[in-house]
Amino acid sequence: MTDDRWVPPPVLLTVDLVILTLRESRLQVLLVERGVEPYKGDLALPGGFLQHAEEDLITAAHRELSEEADLDVETLRLEQSGVYGAPGRDPRGRVVSVAYLAIAPRLPEPTAGTDAADARWQPVDHVLSGDLELAFDHRRIVEDGVERARVKLEHSALATAFCGPIFTITELQEVYEAVWGIPLDPRNFYRKVQKTDGFIIPAGSARKSATGRPARLFKAGRREVLYPPMVRPSESSNAKEQ
Amino acid sequence: MTDDRWVPPPVLLTVDLVILTLRESRLQVLLVERGVEPYKGDLALPGGFLQHAEEDLITAAHRELSEEADLDVETLRLEQSGVYGAPGRDPRGRVVSVAYLAIAPRLPEPTAGTDAADARWQPVDHVLSGDLELAFDHRRIVEDGVERARVKLEHSALATAFCGPIFTITELQEVYEAVWGIPLDPRNFYRKVQKTDGFIIPAGSARKSATGRPARLFKAGRREVLYPPMVRPSESSNAKEQ
DNA sequence: AGAATAGTGTCTCTGAGACATTATCGC
DNA sequence: GCGATAATGTCTCAGAGACACTATTCT
């Protein structure tokens, strides 16, 4: 099968970023309008080719993150979310894309970057429902990224990363509700979060809303892995396989 | 930052396979002795370069699987497990590897393939403990693959794939014990597995061991996602992040 | 006082863990 | 009968879900 003169086919590598945030109590994903062919003018995930042969994947992801959105790279956790390498996915040739997932607190409207004609937040439901068409196979990448975020919310303290440095329990609950897309009972949520040791740490008390009793403030604790995990209700009737 | 004449750097793509099975009640991984440089003579995961520019990743994984081990591809579930693309991981240049995880029932000693001087099963503990040196960053790939298998055992009916088409509950328990590396209570395991609807289906009754009461036989049910999940004990004291 | 939001308490049910007991085989 | 393995039952405790109540602010 392998010839003496055979050489492996080169491929081009891109990193694509699924940057999720919370705006107006909805889970939103950062999309850019492509400024170049192919799919020029269409919406797509921020990302791009590896810069040079020595660039690390995670480095490239961070570079694209700061290039295409004016975000503070330090505060963002970045994690690999999948590889997409189907032969026909990019008309420019054999392009394999490594997807990275980033979770961010409320962010400002991003400034347009170099490769992107425009960059803006879009609700993920619009993407998942298909109302919003994305270039390449980026819709699938968003789907996988969102599902990964949902699972991570169960088992890790990731939700605090969606909030600012100081937050109320209600705000934290809103994060879960937005990402999971379901309502939660405030009292059970309160109890669960409070008794999960090291999840959140008290940080004084202050007013938050215009009316009502002032909420206590918290900051993220040291615990990364939540055990027992936060449970997503009615998980009995789902099906999610590769 | 982007020059007019700039072109993205090409990379070489490999697929690496983490093939896990159960032999002698231990979790074992298929390793090959490399027949070519670099790392010639060292143990490594089966795998290799993309064959041609149009080959799908999963196709390449299946091809390597049948090339390097004489396994029935049909019965194996294959799933992406990670990407490994650190700049210095392969002396031949910029090589990015996509790892695939395969789970298999008891398998025979494999026959040596084309690229591999020798192929054989090795207990994963030997790899994880570092007693067994692996080429490239393959030890890390095995670590990630095993952890993924452990998690999948919790939330999916994957464990039945380790068994043959017909099995006893005790055999199924041995799968969990081998992969998780901990002993389980037979009575609680029995109860849990029985009441998880659609996990296993009765398939008659027959003798299994030389002595004692004959065990009932089962086959895999239709359910893929287990809810509530099988819980891995003492998960309270672990830490596992990217 | 009343509206609005934050925080606490209680009851019930499910499921996990620990462990004793019974059932069915070969000898 | 005995030894060995399979299967079932029981008790207890932790945690999730449902829901009523109290607390603290503002107007």
**CATH assignment at residue B216:** 1.10.10.10
Cα separation, A72 vs A196, whole angstroms: 29
Q: Which domain holds residue A75?
A: 12-154
pLDDT for res A236: 42
pLDDT tens digits in sequence order for chain A, 242 residues long: 555 688 999 999 999 999 999 888 899 999 999 988 899 999 999 999 999 999 999 999 999 888 877 666 667 788 999 999 999 999 999 999 999 999 888 776 665 555 555 788 999 999 999 999 999 999 999 999 999 999 999 999 999 999 989 999 999 999 999 999 999 999 999 999 999 999 999 998 777 777 889 999 999 999 999 989 999 886 443 333 22
In DSSP terms, which residues pair with B21 in a beta bridge? B28
Q: Could you tell me what percent of chain B has a pLDDT over 90?
A: 69
Which residues of chain A have a CB within 8 Å of the CB of B8? 12-14, 49-50
What is the 8-class DSSP label of residue A164? -
Residue of B12, B67, B79 lying closest to A10 (CB–CB): B12
Q: Which of A84-93, A212-221, B114-123, B182-191 has the lowest mean pLDDT?
A: B114-123
**B120 and B18 both lie in a single domain:** yes
Query: Is residue B37 in a domain?
Result: yes
**CATH assignment at residue B25:** 3.90.79.10
Query: Is residue A90 in a domain?
Result: yes
Which residues of chain B have a CB within 8 Å of the CB of A11? 10-13, 50, 53
Q: Which of A101-105, B198-202, B218-222 has the lowest mean pLDDT?
A: A101-105
Examine the fold and report which residue of B154, B176, B199 is the final residue of a domain before the chain moves on. Answer: B154
For residue A39, what are its two tokens?
A: 């799919």
**A133 and A16 both lie in a single domain:** yes
Query: Is residue A4 in a domain?
Result: no
Report the number of distinct structural domains present in chain A.
Answer: 2
Examine the fold and report which residue of A122, A154, A186 is the final residue of a domain before the chain moves on. Answer: A154
**A112 and A123 both lie in a single domain:** yes
- The neighbour count for residue A58, using CB atoms within 10 Å, is 17
Tell whether the model's pLDDT for residue B209 goes beyond 50: yes
**B43 and B73 both lie in a single domain:** yes
pLDDT for res B242: 27
pLDDT for res A206: 78
pTM, full prediction: 0.90
pLDDT for res B237: 37
Element (H, E) at A80: strand A77-84
Write phi, then psi, for B194 (nearest 5 degrees). Answer: -65, -40
**B171 and B149 both lie in a single domain:** no
**A89 and A169 both lie in a single domain:** no
Examine the fold and report which residue of B131, B154, B177 is the final residue of a domain before the chain moves on. Answer: B154
- The neighbour count for residue B137, using CB atoms within 10 Å, is 16
**A128 and A163 both lie in a single domain:** no
**B61 and B178 both lie in a single domain:** no
pLDDT for res A239: 33
Q: Any idea which nucleotide's C1' is nearest the CA of B184?
A: C17
Cα radius of gyration (chain A): 20
Q: Which of A139-148, B99-108, B233-242 has the lowest mean pLDDT?
A: B233-242
Q: Say if strands A47-49 and A43-44 run parallel, antiparallel, or are unpaired.
A: unpaired
Q: What is the pLDDT of residues B4-47, one digit of tens each?
A: 678 999 999 999 999 999 888 899 999 999 988 899 999 999 99
Q: Say if strands A10-23 and A95-103 run parallel, antiparallel, or are unpaired.
A: parallel
Q: Which of A116-130, B92-106, B119-133, B175-189 has the lowest mean pLDDT?
A: A116-130
Three-state helix/strand/coil letters over chain B: CCCCCCCCCEEEEEEEEEEEEEECCEEEEEEEEECCCCCCCCEECCEEECCCCCCCHHHHHHHHHHHHCCCCHHHCEEEEEEEECCCCCCCCCCEEEEEEEEECCCCCCCCCCCCEEEEEEEEHHHHHCCCCCECCCHHHHHHHHHHHHHHHHHHECCHHHHCCCCECHHHHHHHHHHHHCCCCCHHHHHHHHHHCCCCEEEEEEECCCCCCCCEEEEEECCCCECCCCCCCCCHHHCCCCC
Residue of A10, A80, A238 lying closest to B11 (CB–CB): A10
Q: How many helices (H) and strands (E) does chain A have?
A: 6, 9
**A45 and A121 both lie in a single domain:** yes
